């Protein structure tokens, strides 16, 4: 590898690692700034999806197709699949703790029913 290519590779890896760190910090800042836990859950996706994608790409550029790259890729796939499931489970737990139940009830003011209110 030429010195210019090695320097370019180092710069690209550093930028990708910076993107990873920035998405983690933005996710943390967003979670702290939101009013309630339901809003804060949206910021879990920042470190999980774009942050892990940038980290996986940085590892691939730095090491090539090595065991570390495959492990990062596997972690990225797991986070991509499990992030929405985990956010949904946490939202359900928040609702159950706040209301004592997680199912929508006819007297819940924040629940919109598309077919009208169910008969109680």
What digits encode the pLDDT tens for the residues 60-89?
999 999 999 999 999 999 999 998 898 889
Look at the pTM and tell me if it is higher than 0.85.
no
Q: Which residue has the higher pLDDT, 75 or 35?
A: 75
Q: Which pLDDT score, from 0 to 100, does residue 38 have?
A: 84
CB count within 10 Å of CB 27 equals: 20
- Mean pLDDT over 82-110 rounds to 82
The H-assigned helical ranges of the chain are 3-33, 37-40, 45-46, 52-63, 67-99
């Amino acid at each position: 590898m030429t010195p210019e290519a090695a320097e370019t590779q180092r710069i690209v890896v550093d930028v990708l690692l910076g993107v990873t760190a920035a998405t983690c910090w933005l996710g943390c800042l967003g979670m702290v700034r939101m009013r309630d836990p339901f809003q804060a859950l949206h910021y879990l996706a920042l470190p999980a999806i774009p942050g892990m994608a940038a980290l996986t790409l940085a590892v691939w550029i730095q090491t090539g197709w090595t065991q570390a790259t495959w492990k990062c890729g596997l972690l990225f796939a797991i986070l991509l699949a499990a992030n929405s499931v985990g956010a949904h489970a946490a939202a359900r737990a928040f609702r159950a703790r706040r209301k004592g139940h997680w199912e929508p009830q006819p007297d819940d003011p924040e629940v919109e029913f598309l077919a009208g209110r169910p008969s109680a």
